[in-house]
A and B are shown apart, each in its own frame.
Chain A
Amino acid sequence: KQEVTQIPAALSVPEGENLVLNCSFTDSAIYNLQWFRQDPGKGLTSLLLIQSSQREQTSGRLNASLDKSSGRSTLYIAASQPGDSATYLCAVEGGYNFNKFYFGSGTKLNVKP
């Protein structure tokens, strides 16, 4: 069974700092990996999707990388802002079972003004 782990569970940084969130998965036979943002009491908003054949994907201040062979992905946030405060979740599709998505438990980010 695919296991997805996110470290750290929580992170507090001052505004303006660059930061990295980590996601690891146990089975490298994935179709894609998706990063989401979740605000308190809300649903999930997709940030970036990396295909299994890609190494990285960028959107604005966000850059996500994927190393399938080592089972790792990172989400890099440049010049963090208080509005970036949220929980960030990664999810992989595939592994032992396709059509199934496996989520990490998330990293709760707090960016202090």
Chain B
Amino acid sequence: NAGVTQTPKFQVLKTGQSMTLQCAQDMNHEYMSWYRQDPGMGLRLIHYSVGAGITDQGEVPNGYNVSRSTTEDFPLRLLSAAPSQTSVYFCASRTIRDRETDEQYFGPGTRLTVT
């Protein structure tokens, strides 16, 4: 199992550009999520999905779009990048068969800089 994979590892964008961060998991997990981590802060939830075709907003959804057409993939789209979106982005997945016992598994992260 590859676990949770993210591409790219690093990305530099100019203000106003758009891009898609890719996330994939091979564990057949229903739940997938995107977080951002800013210096000195914990992770903040951007969007999450509990299955194909089902997405919902987290704490900081503005400026980001998601869709979930398959169980394996959960891409995050930045529509018009802003310097405030400079951050490290993590994707995570888990099962939701038993909410009390199922751990989250994280990808290695994408470091995004918007100039």
Q: Which residues of A contact B (CB under 8 A)?
A: 4, 6, 31-32, 34, 36, 42-46, 49, 51-53, 89, 91, 93, 98-106
Tell me which residues across on chain B come within 8 A of A98, comparing CB atoms: 99
Contact indicator B33/A43 (Cβ below 8 Å): no
Extra inter-chain contacts (11) besides given A31-B100, A89-B43, A101-B45, CB under 8 Å? A31-B99, A32-B100, A36-B106, A43-B108, A44-B92, A44-B106, A93-B99, A99-B31, A99-B56, A100-B48, A103-B43
Q: A105 vs B40: C-alpha distance in the bound complex, in angstroms?
A: 6
B contact residues, total (Cβ < 8 Å): 26
Q: A79 vs B58: C-alpha distance in the bound complex, in angstroms?
A: 38
* Of A46, A53, A105, A106, the contact of B104 (CB 8 Å cutoff): A46
Chain B, residue nearest A52 (CB): B100
Majority SS at the chain A contact face: strand
Contact indicator A34/B50 (Cβ below 8 Å): no
* Of B42, B100, B108, the contact of A103 (CB 8 Å cutoff): B42
Contact indicator A99/B103 (Cβ below 8 Å): no
Contact indicator A100/B103 (Cβ below 8 Å): no
Contact indicator A34/B101 (Cβ below 8 Å): no
Contact indicator A53/B99 (Cβ below 8 Å): no
Q: A29 vs B91: C-alpha distance in the bound complex, in angstroms?
A: 25
Tell me which residues across on chain A come within 8 A of B74, comparing CB atoms: none
In the complex, chain B residues 54-101 whose Cβ is within 8 Å of any chain A Cβ: 56, 58-59, 90, 92, 99-101
Q: A4 vs B44: C-alpha distance in the bound complex, in angstroms?
A: 11
Tell me which residues across on chain A come within 8 A of B43, comparing CB atoms: 44, 89, 91, 101, 103
Tell me which residues across on chain A come within 8 A of B33, comparing CB atoms: 101
Produce 1/0 per residue, B34-45, CB < 8 A to A.
010000111111
